[in-house]
A = this chain, B = another copy of it.
């Protein structure tokens, strides 16, 4: 097997060539994750369509465009303020589908259960999944259950996949940002990551922070009702806004400048981030979206967001530029500008 892996072209900041094993950072949604996909999975799968790997992919069936996505969930702990692994798994895939502008139709659920998992906790998780699916208007139609020996799991891991229909005239994707476009975010950022961190580490930050896990397909449908001319939609989960904006800047070959003061962050999240030396731009969200659209529709989209309970703290936070393609910059409160780079590994492992 020694020739199965080609290390040529790896630009690892960690000495992977000397220690060629999986590290936690490979799951963090940053540079290490991207390298694993680009240098290991894509060459192995060896097809053009796989170049979409990581996003919802578009599949045409009988003239209908489907957006198709999968995500595994390994969040620790299983239950956290504002949700559990069950509704997180449903909302996560619903949102990935919605970020193509698609109307999600059906989901699958694959469970990897650890021997000894209490059935009442599993039942509570399954009931959260059912409730989340009903809220999002999708149907769980296919499933699978496997059991692994004690000490080879962590209670339950859940994979969801799903697909939905992309309406005619909608063309939303990470490579479609154009200079002059406006960057909106649908609400305050960082709540999911801080909620997980607070319960995991037993920290309290004044007001309790709850995960923002929620299905965004309803909000997306309202935005598309306002205008179909939306260029990019993304939910900034693992790696937060910073990773999402970097992925968009690279895929579209544009620069992005955000106004740090315009970013909505709830007080408790800001306090927690200051205490922990974290940057809200890098903290995971599970119920927020970034929208990039032409400037003439930005104010209308903002108004539609704010009229929806899931977008009531929406804001215009930045602009797409022709300058510095592939780079995200942030104008700080005191007038300076800093580069917002992608993280190498993970800030918080097993955040989703």
**Residues in B whose Cβ lies below 8 Å from that of A33:** 145
CB within 8 Å of B: which A46-63 residues: 46-47, 49-50, 52-57, 59, 61-63
B-contact 0/1 string along A141-162, CB 8 Å cutoff: 1111111110111100101010
Taking a contact as CB atoms under 8 Å apart, the answer to whether A113 and B26 are in contact is yes
Min Cβ gap A53→B in Å is 4
Residue from the list B27, B62, B106 in contact with A57, Cβ < 8 A = B106
Known contacts A140-B50, A349-B147: does B120 contact A5 (CB below 8 Å)?
Answer: yes
A324 within 8 A of partner (CB): no
> Could you say which residues of chain B place their CB within 8 Å of the CB of A163?
68, 163
Residues of chain B within 8 A (CB-CB) of A28 are 147
**Within 8 Å CB of A23, what residues of B?**
115, 147
Interface residue stretch chosen among A124-132, A177-185, A221-229, A247-255: A124-132
Least CB distance, A34 to chain B, in whole angstroms: 10
- Which of A14-22, A201-209, A270-278, A283-291 faces chain B? A14-22
Report if A306 contacts B (CB, 8 A).
no
Partner of A45, one of B36, B126, B149, B153: B126
A262 to chain B: which residues have CB within 8 Å? none
Residue from A1, A27, A57, A145 whose CB has the most chain B CB atoms within 10 Å: A145
A4 at the interface (CB under 8 A from B): yes
A322 within 8 A of B: no
Bound together, the chains give a CA A113 to CA B36 distance in angstroms of: 12
A312 lies within 8 A of chain B by Cβ: no
A305 within 8 A of B: no
Cβ contact within 8 Å between A117 and B41 = no
**B-binding segment of A70-78, A188-196, A293-301, A329-337:** A70-78
Q: In the complex, which of the residues B5, B64, B119, B157 contacts A21, with contact meaning CB atoms closer than 8 Å?
A: B119
- Knowing A1-B121, A54-B143, A72-B146, the reply to whether A113 touches B27 (Cβ < 8 A) is yes
Q: Give 6 nearest A-B pairs by CB, closest first.
A: A27-B147, A44-B126, A70-B108, A159-B159, A161-B161, A57-B141
A and B contact pairs by CB, cutoff 8 A, 30 listed: A1-B124, A21-B115, A24-B147, A26-B113, A27-B113, A27-B145, A27-B148, A37-B143, A37-B145, A41-B145, A44-B126, A47-B140, A53-B143, A54-B143, A61-B105, A62-B63, A62-B165, A68-B108, A70-B109, A70-B144, A72-B144, A108-B161, A110-B159, A112-B112, A142-B161, A146-B157, A148-B154, A148-B350, A149-B350, A152-B153
